[in-house]
């Protein structure tokens, strides 16, 4: 079986002139990088790691912004036989103090021996280092070895075995998780092979267009390793450019005849709400054969909004697809079938929220829509189990367990976390969901569950209800539990951003949310806080950070 280094060597020798990555930066001409340039750039970093006496099997943190140095340093670490781990870059949205503390905590667990970063970030990187710590070298992008033809026989990475760890993924939206998902060459390549078949990947025809950051599995695997290792051209733009001007994604799809894109659920709403027709003059989206929603859960309403907005520009609604993925499985566990739209299961809302059963809707009672995340990949097994690990029948909600030949080796240097998550060869995902006719429906995270008077309540259900109230800003609602000592149970708190800035409007919206949620769910809602724009904290992948919002709410209560 091949390793990353074997595949890179073959591409260097067999298709040196094929364009691997097209880097896009606002205000600058696009930069195409062919396989020869990619491996030559990677070799510069491999030689620099050797110069600094970094050993094979040691972890190297990459703290770099979007650009060629991030791609070169990642594959340079691989060629050297080191283990790259891409970290989030400090931005204006992150607290510098928390970022440093989280980075220092991660370093103490992961024990990297080197950090590769840019000169302007050197002081920030060094501020996270402790005397006597594991990091021996901080390598700067302006002090890299000159270009030279790689001597593949002398590169440590060429000696790696398929079972060796090739990379670490830190799967949270914050560096503070301190659980590095260790993945072997074999695991990643098994995933790429199985997933390529599921999406009918064609290296001669497909072009992947992405803005996703590379420190998340969706960006790293689907929109970086998959295209580079499978010889599919990647058009990659900066995440910050996309946030400022989301229409650039659609313009790039049109310009490069893009066929595949992966997006988190919020991005469908963001594009539909933020992009103006004036920025789409001449745009043709007919080449887009799949835009794959990788969130848990996925929302049919988001797909409908996206399709309605962009169908006039050649987008086929059937191109909107779904996937259930996680870093611990490299990436995809399930994938919807690209020859049809994902199945939407309409179910009785009250029964689902109170009994955790997905039953057909009843006339005269509210229904809700659950969107399928697709079927298991060919090399995956999925089970839905109760709290005792017993299998549950179809349409009964339980925890999702999975087993495959592309699972993580371990949580790096976290034997405790590894033992808790992997039982008898099965990985406990921490996600809840149900199956029906071979399709997987994901309903929420186990850790987010709120227990009110013995009832299990998903915050996502309550957030969806609150979002139905007029005046609530779409996608900007968070629900969590607060323990009430007097009642001896949790009370639900809902915080939502309003379209209006008027305090009097906020009171009316809060009252409407209380009434609607109480009427439509199994709880009597009392605590609603309506706030202005940008109050709610999101992770770097765009997910609602429930624990961070809870902490912010408590701080404001205490101040």
- Domains, the chain: 1-194 (3.40.50.12780), 342-447 (2.30.38.10), 449-558 (3.30.300.30)
Please indicate whether residue 142 or residue 481 has the higher confidence score (pLDDT).
142
User: Is residue 452 predicted with pLDDT exceeding 90?
Assistant: no
Angle between helices 185-198 and 4-14 (to 10 degrees): 60
Write the DSSP string, 108-155. HHH--SEEEE-GGGHHHHHHT--TT-S--EEEETTSPPPP----GGG-
Q: What is the mean pLDDT of residues 481-502?
A: 80
Distances (CA, A) of 296 to 35, 326, 373: 35, 10, 8
Helix%, strand%, coil% for the chain, nearest 5: 40, 25, 35
For position 174, what pLDDT does the model report?
39
The rounded distance, in Å, linking the Cα atoms of 408 and 410 is 5
Copy the structure tokens of residue 9.
């060597």
Specify whether the CB–CB gap between 462 and 423 falls below 8 A: no
pLDDT (tens digit per residue) in 65-89: 999 999 999 999 999 999 999 998 8
Specify whether the CB–CB gap between 43 and 148 falls below 8 A: yes
For position 485, what pLDDT does the model report?
59
Percent of the chain scored above 90 by pLDDT?
A: 73
User: Is residue 237 predicted with pLDDT exceeding 90?
Assistant: yes
As a whole number of Å, the CA-based R_g of the chain is 24
For position 474, what pLDDT does the model report?
80
The rounded distance, in Å, linking the Cα atoms of 180 and 414 is 8
For position 455, what pLDDT does the model report?
67
Own/partner contacts of 129-135, CB < 8 Å, gap of 24 or more, are 129/104, 130/104, 133/107, 133/108, 134/107, 135/107
For position 81, what pLDDT does the model report?
98
Copy the structure tokens of residue 270.
């963001």
Specify whether the CB–CB gap between 336 and 321 falls below 8 A: yes
Copy the structure tokens of residue 504.
């009097």
The rounded distance, in Å, linking the Cα atoms of 12 and 488 is 64
Sheet strands side by side (includes 472-484): 472-484, 489-498, 527-531
Copy the structure tokens of residue 301.
């309403």
Under DSSP, the state recorded for 326 is -
Categorize the per-residue pLDDT at 173 as very low, low, confident or very high, splitting at 50, 70 and 90. very low
Specify whether the CB–CB gap between 358 and 434 falls below 8 A: yes
Specify whether the CB–CB gap between 325 and 346 falls below 8 A: no
User: Is residue 385 predicted with pLDDT exceeding 60?
Assistant: yes
Q: What is the mean pLDDT of residues 321-335?
A: 97
Categorize the per-residue pLDDT at 555 as very low, low, confident or very high, splitting at 50, 70 and 90. confident
For position 98, what pLDDT does the model report?
75
Return all residues near 374 (Cβ < 8 A) that are at least 6 apart.
321, 322, 323, 324, 334, 335, 336, 337, 342, 439, 440
Return all residues near 514 (Cβ < 8 A) that are at least 6 apart.
525, 526, 528
- In the chain, how many H helices and how many E strands? 17, 28
The pTM of this model reads: 0.86
Q: What is the mean pLDDT of residues 379-403?
A: 96
For position 504, what pLDDT does the model report?
83
Return all residues near 435 (Cβ < 8 A) that are at least 6 apart.
382, 384, 394, 395, 441
Return all residues near 163 (Cβ < 8 A) that are at least 6 apart.
184, 185, 186
How many C-alpha atoms does 168 have within 13 Å on its Cβ side? 30
Cα 253 to its chain centre, rounded Å, is 21
pLDDT (tens digit per residue) in 144-164: 999 999 999 999 999 999 999
Copy the structure tokens of residue 309.
């907005």
Categorize the per-residue pLDDT at 49 as very low, low, confident or very high, splitting at 50, 70 and 90. very high
For the chain, give the mean pLDDT: 92
Write the DSSP string, 183-228. EEHHHHHHHHHHHHHHTT--TTT-EEEE---TTSHIIIIIIIIHHH
Return all residues near 66 (Cβ < 8 A) that are at least 6 apart.
23, 25, 213, 236, 237, 238, 239, 240
Q: Residue 387 class from Cβ within 10 Å (0-12 exposed, 13-18 middle, 19+ buried)?
A: exposed
- Give the chain's length: 559
Cα 224 to its chain centre, rounded Å, is 13
Considering only CA atoms, which of 165, 164, 259, 177 is closest in space to residue 216?
177
For position 176, what pLDDT does the model report?
43
């Amino acid at each position: 079986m091949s390793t990353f280094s074997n595949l890179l060597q073959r591409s260097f020798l067999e298709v040196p002139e094929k364009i691997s990555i097209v880097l896009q930066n606002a205000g600058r001409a696009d930069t195409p990088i062919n396989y020869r340039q990619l491996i030559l750039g990677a070799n510069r970093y491999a030689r620099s790691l050797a110069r600094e006496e970094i050993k094979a099997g040691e972890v190297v943190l990459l703290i770099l912004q979007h650009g060629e140095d991030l791609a070169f340093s990642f594959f340079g670490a691989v060629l050297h036989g080191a283990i790259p781990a891409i970290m989030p870059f400090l931005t204006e949205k992150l607290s510098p103090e928390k970022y440093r503390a989280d980075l220092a905590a991660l370093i103490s667990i992961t024990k990297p021996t080197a950090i590769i970063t840019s000169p302007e970030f050197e002081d920030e990187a060094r501020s996270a280092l402790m005397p006597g710590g594991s990091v021996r070298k901080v390598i700067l992008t302006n002090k890299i070895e000159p270009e030279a033809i790689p001597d593949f026989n002398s590169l440590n990475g060429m000696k790696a075995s398929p079972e060796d760890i090739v990379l670490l993924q830190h799967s949270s939206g914050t560096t503070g998780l301190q659980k590095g998902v260790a993945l072997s060459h074999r695991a990643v390549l098994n995933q790429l092979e199985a997933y390529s078949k599921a999406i009918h990947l064609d290296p001669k025809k497909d072009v992947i267009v992405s803005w996703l950051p590379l420190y998340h599995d969706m960006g790293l695997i689907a929109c970086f390793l998959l295209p580079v290792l499978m010889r599919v051209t990647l058009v990659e733009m900066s995440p910050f450019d996309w946030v400022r001007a989301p229409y650039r994604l659609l313009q790039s799809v049109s310009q490069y005849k893009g066929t595949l894109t992966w997006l988190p659920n919020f991005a469908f709403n963001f594009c539909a709400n933020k992009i103006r027709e004036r920025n789409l003059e001449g745009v043709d989206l007919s080449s887009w054969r799949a835009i794959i929603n990788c969130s848990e859960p996925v929302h049919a309403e988001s797909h409908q909004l996206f399709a309605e907005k962009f169908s006039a520009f050649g987008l086929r609604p059937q191109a909107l697809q779904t996937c259930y993925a996680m870093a611990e499985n490299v990436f995809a566990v399930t994938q919807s079938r690209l020859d049809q739209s994902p199945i939407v299961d309409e179910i009785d809302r009250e029964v689902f929220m109170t009994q955790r059963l997905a039953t057909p809707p009843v006339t005269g009672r509210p229904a809700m829509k659950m969107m399928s995340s697709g079927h298991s990949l060919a090399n995956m097994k999925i089970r839905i189990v109760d709290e005792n690990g017993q299998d549950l029948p179809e349409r009964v909600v339980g925890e999702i367990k999975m087993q495959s030949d592309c699972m993580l080796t371990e949580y790096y240097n976290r034997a405790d976390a590894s033992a808790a998550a992997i039982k008898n060869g099965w990985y406990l995902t921490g996600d809840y969901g149900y199956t029906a006719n071979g399709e997987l429906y994901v309903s929420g995270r186990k850790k987010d569950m709120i227990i009110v008077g013995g009832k299990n309540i998903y915050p996502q259900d309550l957030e969806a209800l609150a979002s139905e109230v007029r005046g609530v800003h779409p996608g900007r609602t968070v629900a969590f539990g607060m323990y009430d000592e007097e009642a001896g149970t949790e009370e639900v708190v809902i915080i939502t951003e309003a379209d209006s800035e008027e305090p009097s409007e906020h009171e009316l919206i809060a009252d409407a949310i209380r009434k609607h949620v109480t009427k439509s769910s199994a709880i009597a809602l009392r605590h609603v806080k309506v706030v202005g724009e940008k109050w709610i904290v999101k992770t770097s992948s765009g997910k609602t950070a429930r624990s961070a919002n809870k902490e912010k709410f408590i701080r404001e209560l205490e101040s």
